[in-house]
Amino acid sequence: MNVTTPDGRTLHVHEGGDPNGFPVLMHHGSPSNGSLFPPHVEDARAQGIRLLGYDRPGYGGSSPSPGRSVGDAARDVEAILDALGIERCASWGISGGGPHVLACAALLPDRIAAAASLAAVAPFDADGLDWIDGMGESNIVEFNATLAGRDVLEQLLEREAADLRAADAEHVLAVLGPLLTPVDAAALTGAYAAYIVESSRDALAPGIEGWVDDDLAFAAPWGFDPVDIGVPLLLWHGDHDLFVPPAHGRWLTARIPGVDARLSGEDGHLTLEAHRVPEVHRWLLERAHASEAPFGPVR
């Protein structure tokens, strides 16, 4: 379905699981879209979750929003919740979606009952953090291009997008190879590899604007401070992560009050989405149901 924002943009929303269940909204990675991984949908149905995803601006079926900040995700989520008649929900985000779920947790405390951030980058100006240290070479190249400006970044991402559009489930390992630790390479098989390929292809079908705007937003002021998050928050980061090095997770853990941090020696980057979401769903439901605040129809 499509939602129209107050400023006239379109946000494309995906839905699965239990239509009468507790609403949980997912923020996708970069570059990807808000389509739902079938095992996540099955788990949502089993746990009584109405699972939602949406394409961030410029990806898939959502209108671009040039110059958007990470914090602007809160206004879009609020528009989606209003359109669907949902007062409160829980939310999780993976990779590039991690900062966006943090934004919603910080800026929408009356709408977000609990949140989970998986393998999120820290703010680019994070004090005491070497932001690119420990990243795989292709991500170092990408964020150096980000700092060089939109024109340089667009030239790089056009080439990267062409490789992703041409990949199939069998060959996506080669495309992402420089970023894959052994545990992530083991996860990128079968149905999960097919999902990654399809969601990336659909996300980039209209062009690279969503990916470009994500990167530029990560490197600019976010529009909120993670220290201001007051809702229950789960933060999960794997030690075997070359996409977003674990130092980012440690930095966020040290600064967000009351965070439930899982700094995992078993996980990489992709393993969190491929294997850990059912546990994330359980955590979110427990915290959300512990709250006396209502969810569901807006009153």
**Residue 214 phi, psi (nearest 5):** -60, -55
The pTM of this model reads 0.95
The pLDDT > 70 percentage for the chain reads 97
Residues of the chain whose pLDDT is less than 70? 292-299
| In-domain check, residue 283 | yes
Q: What is the pLDDT of residue 30?
A: 97
| Domain extent for 69 | 2-290
Q: What is the DSSP code string of 195-263?
A: HHHHHHHHHHTT-SHHHHHHHHHHTS--SS-GGG--S-EEEEEEEE-SSS-HHHHHHHHHHSTT-EEEE
Q: Omega of the bond prior to 226 within 30 degrees of 0, cis?
A: no
In whole angstroms, how far apart are CA 155 and each of 2, 67, 145, 201, 210? Answer: 30, 18, 9, 18, 14
Q: What is the pLDDT of residue 32?
A: 97
Q: What is the pLDDT of residue 2?
A: 98
| In-domain check, residue 240 | yes
Question: Exposed/middle/buried for 130, CB within 10 Å: 0-12, 13-18, 19+?
Answer: exposed
| In-domain check, residue 66 | yes
Q: What is the pLDDT of residue 297?
A: 40
| In-domain check, residue 298 | no
Angle between helix 137-148 and helix 209-218 axes, rounded to 10 deg: 80
Q: What are the tens digits of pLDDT across the range 232-265? A: 999 999 999 999 999 999 999 999 999 999 999 9
| In-domain check, residue 297 | no
SS3 (DSSP) at 135: coil
d(CA 138, CA 29) in angstroms, rounded, equals 16
| In-domain check, residue 296 | no
Per the structure, the count of domains in the chain is 1
